[in-house]
Amino acid sequence: MNLKKVTINITCTTLILVLSLIGFSANAQVANDASIQNAIIAALPEGVTPEKATSDEIAQAATTLAFSMEGNLEANVTQVMVSLGELAKAGKFLNAPRFGDKNPTGRFYLKVLNLASSNLDVSSSTYYGLTVQDMTRLAAAARAGMNFLNGAKSNAITRK
């Protein structure tokens, strides 16, 4: 009987540990993630180099990547935003503005919002499988990436 209790305790402890590690790693942004940065560049249209790409081409590549990655969609959007911002700040996209709302991160943010809100019928979904309810959580994920880039913190405003 004791052996059975020990086995159950070890199994439960292991399961809790694994689940907690998965939960923490799913939403953590990583600075200078070369694999994501390279994937954004690889997702550019054929024949378009990072130096010649427009903000819209870069944003489309980032969107395609974020929605095709495995795992949590919000975490993917946040990480792609971080990597995209780092590439833009490093001057990898010579043809795109580095600052302002028409830079690659601003265009990516707008594209994510447009995808989520392009379908106003809450009972159906867009071609990415998004519903209108997804707009808030995806906008928050993109904003979290921008906040990470800028060293800003965002605190939710709540009513009392």
CA distance 99 to 60: 18
**Per-residue pLDDT at 137:** 83
Task: Return the DSSP state at 54.
Answer: -
DSSP per-residue codes, 58-101: HHHHHHHHHHHSSS-HHHHHHHHHHHHHHHHHTT--TTS-SSST
Task: Decide if pLDDT at 10 tops 50.
Answer: no
CA distance 155 to 45: 37
**Per-residue pLDDT at 7:** 46
First to last CA, the chain: 52
Q: How many CB atoms sit inside 10 A of residue 81's CB? A: 27
Q: What is the pLDDT of residues 93-115, one digit of tens each?
A: 999 988 777 899 999 999 888 77
Q: What is the pLDDT of residues 21-62, one digit of tens each?
A: 333 344 567 888 899 999 999 999 999 999 999 999 999 999
Residue bearing the bigger pLDDT, 70 or 1: 70
Mean pLDDT over 121-146 rounds to 72
Please list, in sequence order, all residues whose beta carbon lies within 8 angstroms of the beta carbon of residue 57, skipping any fewer than 6 positions away. Answer: 44, 45, 48
Q: How many CB atoms sit inside 10 A of residue 119's CB? A: 18
